[in-house]
Amino acid sequence: MSTEESGPSGQADPMTARAPDTGAPPPPSTADLPAALELPQPTALVGVAGTPPAGAPWPTVAPPARLAPGIADRLRDRRPALFLDYDGTLTPIVSRPELARLAPETREAVRALATAGHPVAVVSGRDLDDVRALVNLPQLVYAGSHGFDIAGPGGLRLQHPEALRLLPHLDGAQDLLAARLAGVPGVQIERKRFSLAVHYRQVAPGNIPALEQAVAEAAHPGLRRAGGKMVFELQPALDWHKGRAVEWVLDSLDLNRPQILPLYLGDDLTDEDAFRALQGRGLGIVVRDQPPRPTAADYALADPAEVRLFLEALARVWPG
C-alpha cells in the first residue's frame, strides 16, 4: 500500500470486511452444485485476445438462474468477494442520472450476499454520498468518483490525498464549462467530489463536437479527460481508477488470500480497469454493450435483470 493510501483504523468488521476464517460452512460439494444450478452454461465472453469483429453480436448468454460451470468450479473451495458497478449494471441506463433507481429485488439480492458475510462493494463513477444513498445498504463498501473516494464499515476510509490537492482545478473547470455550455440544450453538468461529468444523452448530435471541444479546453493541467456512455468527464490526472480502488479494498480488508475469489460486474469503459486488475486472480463479468467492444472480462450478462438473477444464484450457492 502506498503512502498516499489510508486504511481502516483497527480491525475491520469481520462480517463485512472478510470471509470468516473459522466456523464457515464447507463449500458446496460436486453433488450439491447441479441441484443449485439449473440452467445451461452461459457462453464465455471473448476477451482482449479475441475481440469480436466489428459489428458482430456479443456471445449469447443463457439467463443466469445458475452459475456458469467455470465460475461454480472456482467457487468450490473459495468464497466470493463482490464488486459491483451501479449504472448499467445494478440499474438500467436512463435519460438522467437521478432517475436510476435500484429495484427492490436487486437490493434484496445484494443485501442477502452481504448479510451472509460476503464482502460486497459498489464501485461507481457517482459521488460517494449519492451512490451510498441510492443503494442504502450500510453493510457495504462504497467507492465513489471512480474510486477516488471510498468508505465502508469498520472505519474503512480513503480520500485520495493527491486528488484532494487538485480539487481547485475541478472547480475552475466547472465554472468554465457552466459558462461555455449554458446555451446548449439538453446538456447536464454534474459535479462530483473528485470529478466533473458532462452528460450529453439529451444533446442534439450536431452540438456534441463543440461540447467535446469545450471539455478538452477545460482540462486544466492536473486533470485528464475520460469517456463513458454518453458522458465526457474530467478527473484528476493520477494513476488511480476503478481497478486501483478494487486492489485497495482487497488489500485493506485482507482479501488478497487464496480462499477468496474477487468478482467484478460492470458495463462501462471505466470498468475495464477493474477487469484488468483482476486478471489471474479473479473474474470479470461485463454487462453487454451494443455495439460490441473489446473487453478484458471473462463472462457476459445481458442486462441488469440478468445481473439480479446472477446475484440470486450466487447467494444460493454460497448462502453464508
Write b or e for each residue in 99-125: b if 16 or more Cβ atoms lie within 10 A of its Cβ, otherwise e. Answer: ebebeeebbbbbbbbbbbbbbbbbbbb
**Residue 85 appears among annotated catalytic residues:** yes
Q: Where do runs of H (alpha helix) occur along the chain?
A: 14-17, 32-36, 69-74, 104-115, 128-135, 161-165, 167-180, 208-218, 242-252, 272-277, 304-317
Catalytic residue among 85, 267, 268, 273: 85
- Amino acid letter for position 17: A
C-alpha distances in Å from residue 125, one per residue of 61, 146, 179, 225: 27, 4, 24, 14
- Other C-beta atoms lying within 10 Å of the C-beta of residue 229: 14
Which residues are CB-neighbours of 43 under 8 A, at least 6 positions away? Answer: 59, 60, 61, 62, 300
Residue with cell 442477502: 112
Q: Is the dihedral of CA 62, 65, 66, 68 positive or negative?
A: positive
User: Which residues does the annotation mark as catalytic?
Assistant: 85
